[in-house]
Chains A and B, each alone.
Chain A
């Protein structure tokens, strides 16, 4: 590769073989991609994302949902909602897809060590939090209690159901799951994710909360966490905006003074709180 081409790395994808596509829900799929040059040195941080390019179709920012300690692969959970995402989840194993990144800052896992971790996820928002959950389990003694609150639209739209059940059996871990719309086969909670807080055993003073989901959901959740006494600077949110470059060049993801791609996607509430209720910011 020439020097000029090497410099282009940030905008040029690397061809990576798609190893596996797993259906999670009717419209959501988990893609496992081989990472040939993966190592402990270039391991991704929980909460980071990649730009995934489907040959000739388009490119998408997708959060990494896999285990950071598995260096030989990158795992993404993708909801098929448009042309490009549909093309992405329709790729056959063995096909190469373009990968740029990882980009972004990731969850503050180092700062969270020594604290209880409160994970609040809504819908596909569990995907970028899963690497953080893996991180806690892998370094269990470094963290206090972990409380995972997860809300989805309906039982069939819940991600990682088997894993949720397995996590719930781990010591010092509480997993609460709810759906907005229940059916007769569902014997779990029904109600929005904020209704789970009354069942959660929290120690706000020693907790760090990490939230990912639709922005409205994150606003409701943040309010609950504050009512429970969590400090603004200990509440972290993963934000989403249009992204084309992921490197701070294209300008699309600006959110007030922040670039979601390079300053985020994860921000403490103390930094972005005042922006969250600004319509059309």
Chain B
């Protein structure tokens, strides 16, 4: 059985994290599992956690009246689920629907926010990593919006 520290270290998101920071992060982390077809969070819920996905597949879903739920992206092994905990008003914008049994490390957002406020070096480190994720997701979303496979041009 891997220690929590080892799991966090090996997750791409925290790759190469300074040991001092690791101790701080570790204090906010817990191991979690989600069964298929459950929801990790729902749109509008308070966002006080984020997840380092170790295994599984989670869909970000949204729905509109008269429409079936739409999946805007899926997230799997090695990815981060959730950044709404970072910025006010700390509310989730999508449902997180578990498509396959999922194992993850949950990080307490409140706890981490507090530590980031106290230690801006940690805050900068965490924000830099999130900025990378946000940039990637934005690029993918733009690419997705181009709808390159559409027959109508």
Contact = CB atoms under 8 A, between A and B. Distances in A.
Given A183-B70, A195-B140, A189 B76 contact: yes
A122 interface: yes
A113 to B, nearest CB: 31
B69 to A, nearest CB: 5
B77 interface: yes
A214 B148 contact: yes
A190 B151 contact: no
A211 to B, nearest CB: 13
B71 to A, nearest CB: 3
Contact of B149 (A122, A184, A191, A220): A122
A213 interface: yes
Interface string B57-98: 101000000001111111011110000000000000000000
B3 interface: no
Contact of A183 (B57, B71, B144): B71
A194 B140 contact: yes
Nearest to A191: B73
Contacts of B73: 190-191, 195
B146 interface: yes
Interface residues of A, number: 31
B73 to A, nearest CB: 5
A194 B149 contact: no
A123 interface: yes
A216 B149 CA distance: 10
A180 B70 contact: no
A189 B57 contact: yes
B99 interface: yes
B69 A216 contact: no
Interface in A63-89: 79, 81
A122 B79 CA distance: 23
B23 interface: no
- Contact residues of B: prevailing secondary structure: mixed
Contact of B79 (A123, A152, A183, A198): A198
B140 A192 contact: yes
Contact of B68 (A183, A213, A220): A183
Contact of A182 (B59, B140, B146): B59
Interface residues of B, number: 26
Interface string A171-213: 0000000101111101111111011001100000000000001
Interface in B76-127: 76-79, 99-100
A190 B71 contact: yes
A214 B143 CA distance: 12
A27 interface: yes
A157 B151 CA distance: 11
Interface string B138-152: 011001101111110
Contacts of A217: 143, 148
B44 to A, nearest CB: 20
Given A187-B57, A191-B140, A123 B149 contact: yes
B59 A198 contact: no
Given A182-B59, A187-B99, A199 B76 contact: yes
Question: Top 5 A-B pairs ranked by shortest CB distance?
Answer: A182-B71, A153-B149, A123-B149, A214-B148, A190-B71
